[in-house]
Structure 1
Amino acid sequence: MLKSVTEHRLPAFLKVTAGFGALLENSRFALGPKGGADETVRRFDALESGAIPISRAHPFLAAPEALGSTPIVKLESWDQLPARHNRIESLSDAQLDEIQRDIVAWWWDDKEVLAQTVAGIIDASFARAGVL
């Protein structure tokens, strides 16, 4: 990811220290490399702040038990980032606002489903243990 951003001189701000939350809240997109695992806090930080994550495609992003059919921007390779950036740059502010509203709405709905699922598992565990 870093190589693709720097080689193509894409307008990206990369910050590797504390304090990036405020930057994400003022960003429309956020790069979300997976790190050591398919699930990454970077992606969730972006979603929580309202930024649209851009990530490499992998099975976790399509797994119904994980994020399901997440509408985040998915790349097969970080080498595709410059072309995708060019397409994004060609969109109007209204189109970008709509994409951002859609992903924020999806994230809030998905968090509600996840909360209900976790609550159901906890309740069932307590019921089996005879606590409830």
Structure 2
Amino acid sequence: MKSCQLPVSICCFVLLTAVYSEPAACYFDKKKAIIVNYRTGLYVVKDTLKTVNRYQHLAHDLYEKKLFKRAIVQWKKVLHLQPTNAFAMFMLGKSYMGAGEQERGERLCDEAVMIGEQQDKNICHSVEGF
């Protein structure tokens, strides 16, 4: 090994590390959770709301295309992140009914309506045309 190879290698390593890494301030800013007051007494991370919104739109599109089994997967993802989301539970039930599991779907729809009543929300207005 030549005498100049080691310092050159170290300099290249340090330079590439500096180019491809984030400043420390940006790293620590990302680590802080952005808290949003979603409903009284319920706090969620803002990114979770974006994820739920994305899953919900995808599930709705799949449901409209009558791809019920694929919609079921997406509605379950929404419910995993928001277990008390009555609309998602109702649409999961409708998707099960569309996929041929009538009894399971009816049970989920009934449960969703009960959850919606407990939360003082009318979920049925959102599903016109389904």
TM-score by length of 2: 0.28
Highest CA radius of gyration, 1 or 2? 2
Higher relative contact order (CA 8 A, sep 6+): 1
More helix by percentage: 2
